[in-house]
């Protein structure tokens, strides 16, 4: 992730419109990842986990959960939040590179690929292939399609807000985001987008058999998700 994006995610930002939004967002993601854990002996890596405030839901159905976060302040917050849970570790990207080969049962890369250059995503997929067991699963979620639009994102957030009781805050948050550093960063740096064929081809080049996932992670149905297994 480029330094401007990393600095943004490591500072206070308007992506979550209020505490309720953050809570239901991370709870939904944790429940969806937990449903993918193959069994109680599984070792799971959530790469680019964000604050992961409900990661204990995932850890409850796994043997070990590694939360990899590049943003130092966010990573410190994860470590403090789950200091009493022996199943959860907060680690940095360089720590992932030192993990034993063929030691991971499930790897999740959610809402990360859009902030990486294509070659950086290639390098991650190659690393994951080395670290995963032969029957492991890689989930790549929240992939931005080529023709995504801000109005689609806003509509998805409003539907999520209506279902979870924070519509007014969402409307205010959307207005605030328009003038935020996030919008300026997206305009200046752009985001990386993939259609289904391009992402499957990218995963195949790293040694995975991939397909569009039957369910997505998160609330935005316009985003893409993929499931992949090492060949």
Percentage of residues in the chain having pLDDT higher than 90: 81
The span from the CA of 157 to the CA of 173, in Å, is 10
Q: Which CATH superfamily is domain 3-216 in?
A: Vaccinia Virus protein VP39 (3.40.50.150)
Nearest of 92, 108, 89 to residue 33 by alpha carbon: 108
- What pLDDT, on a 0 to 100 scale, did the predictor assign at position 184? 83
The span from the CA of 90 to the CA of 78, in Å, is 6
> Which sequence spans correspond to the domains of the chain?
3-216
H or E stretch covering 129: helix 118-131
DSSP state for residue 205 in the 8-state scheme:
H
pTM of this prediction?
0.94
The band of 190, judged by pLDDT with boundaries at 50, 70 and 90, is confident
Q: How far is C-alpha 85 from the geometric centre of its chain's CA atoms?
A: 21
The band of 95, judged by pLDDT with boundaries at 50, 70 and 90, is very high
């Amino acid at each position: 992730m480029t330094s401007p994006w990393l600095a943004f995610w490591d500072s206070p930002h308007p992506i979550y419109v209020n505490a309720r939004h953050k809570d239901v967002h991370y709870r939904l993601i944790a429940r969806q990842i937990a449903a993918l854990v193959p069994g109680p002996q599984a070792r799971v890596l959530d790469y680019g986990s964000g604050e992961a405030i409900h990661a204990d839901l995932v850890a409850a159905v796994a043997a070990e959960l590694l939360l990899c976060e590049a943003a130092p302040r966010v990573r410190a917050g994860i470590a403090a939040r789950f200091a009493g849970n022996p199943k959860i570790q907060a680690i940095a990207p360089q720590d992932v590179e030192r993990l034993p080969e063929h030691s991971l049962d499930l790897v999740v890369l959610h809402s990360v690929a859009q902030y990486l250059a294509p070659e950086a995503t290639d390098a991650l997929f190659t690393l994951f292939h080395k670290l995963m067991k032969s029957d492991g699963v890689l989930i790549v979620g929240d992939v931005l399609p080529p023709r995504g639009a801000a109005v689609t994102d806003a509509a998805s957030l409003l539907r999520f807000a209506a279902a979870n009781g924070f519509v007014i805050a969402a409307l205010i948050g959307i207005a605030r985001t328009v003038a935020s550093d996030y919008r300026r960063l997206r305009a200046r740096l752009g985001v990386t987008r993939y259609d289904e064929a391009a992402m499957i081809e990218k995963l195949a080049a790293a040694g995975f058999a991939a397909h569009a996932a039957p369910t997505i992670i998160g609330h935005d149905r316009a985003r893409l998700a993929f499931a992949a297994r090492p060949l």
